[in-house]
Amino acid sequence: MAKYLFVTGGVVSALGKGIAAASLGNLLKARGLNVVLQKFDPYLNVDPGTMSPFQHGEVFVLEDGAECDLDLGHYERFTDTNHDQHNNLTSGRVYETILSNERKGEYLGRTVQVIPHVTDEIKKRITMSAEKNPDIDVVITEIGGTVGDIESLPFLEAIRQFRLDMPWNDTASVHLTLVPYIPTAGEIKTKPTQHSVRELRGIGIQPDFLMCRTIQPIGKEARSKIALFCNLPKENVFDGTDAKSIYEVPLNLHAQNFDGLLCQRFGLETEEPDISSWERMVKVILNPTDTVRIAIVGKYVELKDAYKSISESFVHAGIPNHVAVDQVWVDSEELEASDVGERRMKEIFEDCHGILIPGGFGDRGIEGKISAIRFARTNNIPFFGICLGLQCAMIEIGRDMVDLEKACSAEFDPTAAHQVINLMEEQKKIKNMGGTMRLGSWPCHLKPGSRAYFSYGQLEIAERHRHRYEVNNDYRDRFEEAGVVFSGTSPDGGLVEIMELPTHPFFVGVQFHPELKSRPHRPHPLFKSFVAAAVEHQNMCREDEAQRQAETDTDDESKSSRSEA
């Protein structure tokens, strides 16, 4: 029978509940247990698919096409496990189900209420993954938001009821809180944690473990004080000190025997986990032999979480290349100003050894993205375009290489003379916005001998998608005549999935989102190849600089000799 672990947060948001849950999942899996993680979000959206990246960060798409919270990305990266639509639940989804049932008369005329109908639906979703797969040993459920939020009360009440219904050692609660450090006083303060736990206990949930987020170790005295006032053993109070890399967190928790005590609490007998490969991986991340700079030209760069999976994919790709990737964030709108000429572009991308254009929607900042692509193409800087990045690359090439001066996308200009990007046929009759794009994993056939083929090392792949627009097949012949290679297509050849310029050091655009499948131990092949190309470009730049410096030194010596003579 599965065990159930609930992860809640208090004091403030953004403490890293997702990283904490993913790290515990990582350690339990290393102990040989089958683990599944799920995120319950209190907001009323049915899913984050229609939410602004500025508010919610990126939308993480699963294999089955579910649009989920970005914490699902952490779960998959830390446990190297694919999840499905049942692993993310929102209040919107709960109420949608309940109201649908009410309209069907399934409640037999009873008044529909938060208790028991909403809480019962939440409890049903808690056990759904384990009921689907009887081999699951531990289900870790993260509750979004902060204890004290009105929106999260039905979820916390459901947990209270659920723990009451289950045997004592089948459930456990981890509460993540902030323990602030006051520099002027030179000490940390435990009062916010005490208040947060008191709030949780007032709801009826006594946490079994506390993880204290802080910028420095909390120390024995503070640990004992927290344990005393929060009513739990001091060995169950753990340090969540800031780490240099999120991938250090499982190692830090294991060093405090968090996973061991958790298994003891559940009555699970396991062997000590073998985390040696994870330790080696973290060592490489923390001790790179070099650094390469890659510019990310996006329209949501003010919130880095909007591109969370891309950031992590660069960390993963740096490991086999033995480099750290310094990510330079460039707002694409800044590249649209009238005074942005070649000289200014060189200043913006100075010392950058690669340029990536990520996905997005709408026409804001598009011309800036196109300008960045032109700069990368004409200056032989490695370029990687993802989803919208591929579409912008097609527009740029169309305008400059295919003699289609008015090339554009139907998304940005429905009246454009040459819509090299147009709406997918099956999307034309769709009116609802939520969950209606081309979503999830789709197969792709690679062209033998292409850069994509050599990156993957195989002809058949499957990648995750999230888009409505595609390359217009009416223009494919003209692009191929100009030197573009469509190296990846749907199995029937009807949809372009990958395009590249073989004459360029690295110029690849993909319609899918490769960042969604990258893992620390299995970096995505295209990110790995892109970073390798950036490293090669950096080495060439260094050689050129060394050559110029040598020539300058020679000229100086010659002038000095003539002067002395």
Contacts for 89 with CB less than 8 Å, ≥ 6 apart: 38, 39, 40, 41, 122, 125
Last residue of a domain, one of 252, 280, 308: 280
Q: Looking at the domain assignment, is residue 501 inside a domain?
A: yes
Residue 338 has a pLDDT of 66
Query: Closest by alpha carbon to 356, among 380, 390, 322, 407?
Result: 390
Q: Looking at the domain assignment, is residue 312 inside a domain?
A: yes
Same domain assignment for residues 405 and 445: yes
**Structural domain tally of the chain?**
2
Same domain assignment for residues 346 and 272: no
Distance of alpha carbon 308 from the chain centroid: 4
Q: How many angstroms separate the CA atoms of 81 and 340, rounded? A: 45
Q: What is the band of 394 on the pLDDT scale with cuts at 50, 70, 90?
A: very high
Query: Closest by alpha carbon to 467, among 438, 433, 432, 497?
Result: 438
Same domain assignment for residues 413 and 265: no
DSSP sequence for 88-149: EEEHHHHHHHHHHHHHTTTTTTPPP-IIIIIHHHHHHHHHHHHHH-TT--EEEEEEPS-TT-
Same domain assignment for residues 259 and 338: no
Last residue of a domain, one of 280, 301, 322: 280
Same domain assignment for residues 297 and 191: no
Same domain assignment for residues 166 and 212: yes
Q: What is the band of 200 on the pLDDT scale with cuts at 50, 70, 90?
A: very high
Residue-number span of the structural domain to which 34 is assigned: 3-280
Q: Looking at the domain assignment, is residue 540 inside a domain?
A: no
Residue 216 has a pLDDT of 87
Same domain assignment for residues 261 and 296: no
* Residue entry with tokens 């709801």: 203
Whether pLDDT at 267 is above 70? yes
Cβ 231 vs Cβ 201: under 8 Å:
yes
DSSP sequence for 473-509: GGGHHHHHHTT-EEEEE-TTS-SEEEEE-TTSSSEEE
Q: What is the band of 429 on the pLDDT scale with cuts at 50, 70, 90?
A: confident
Query: Closest by alpha carbon to 39, among 82, 102, 88, 91?
Result: 88
| Mean pLDDT, residues 25-44 taken together | 96
Distance of alpha carbon 344 from the chain centroid: 31
Same domain assignment for residues 274 and 292: no
Same domain assignment for residues 275 and 308: no
Q: Looking at the domain assignment, is residue 161 inside a domain?
A: yes
| CATH code: domain of residue 146 | 3.40.50.300
Q: Looking at the domain assignment, is residue 409 inside a domain?
A: yes
Same domain assignment for residues 265 and 317: no
Residue 565 has a pLDDT of 60
Sign of CA dihedral 472, 473, 475, 481: positive
Cβ 81 vs Cβ 101: under 8 Å:
no
| Mean pLDDT, residues 345-371 taken together | 93
Last residue of a domain, one of 232, 258, 280: 280
Q: Looking at the domain assignment, is residue 192 inside a domain?
A: yes
Same domain assignment for residues 299 and 265: no
Same domain assignment for residues 338 and 272: no
Residue-wise pLDDT tens digits, 487-546: 999 999 999 999 999 999 999 999 999 999 999 999 999 999 999 999 999 999 999 888
| CATH code: domain of residue 336 | 3.40.50.880
* Residue entry with tokens 């046929």: 425
Q: Looking at the domain assignment, is residue 227 inside a domain?
A: yes
Q: What is the band of 228 on the pLDDT scale with cuts at 50, 70, 90?
A: very high
Q: Looking at the domain assignment, is residue 334 inside a domain?
A: yes
Count of C-beta atoms within a 10 Å radius of residue 54 = 12
Q: How many angstroms separate the CA atoms of 348 and 228, rounded? A: 54
Q: Which residues pair with 147 in a beta bridge?
A: none
Structure tokens at 360: 């997005």
Active site (catalytic) residues: 387, 513, 515
Q: How many angstroms separate the CA atoms of 253 and 246, rounded? A: 12
Query: Closest by alpha carbon to 62, among 528, 500, 466, 534?
Result: 466
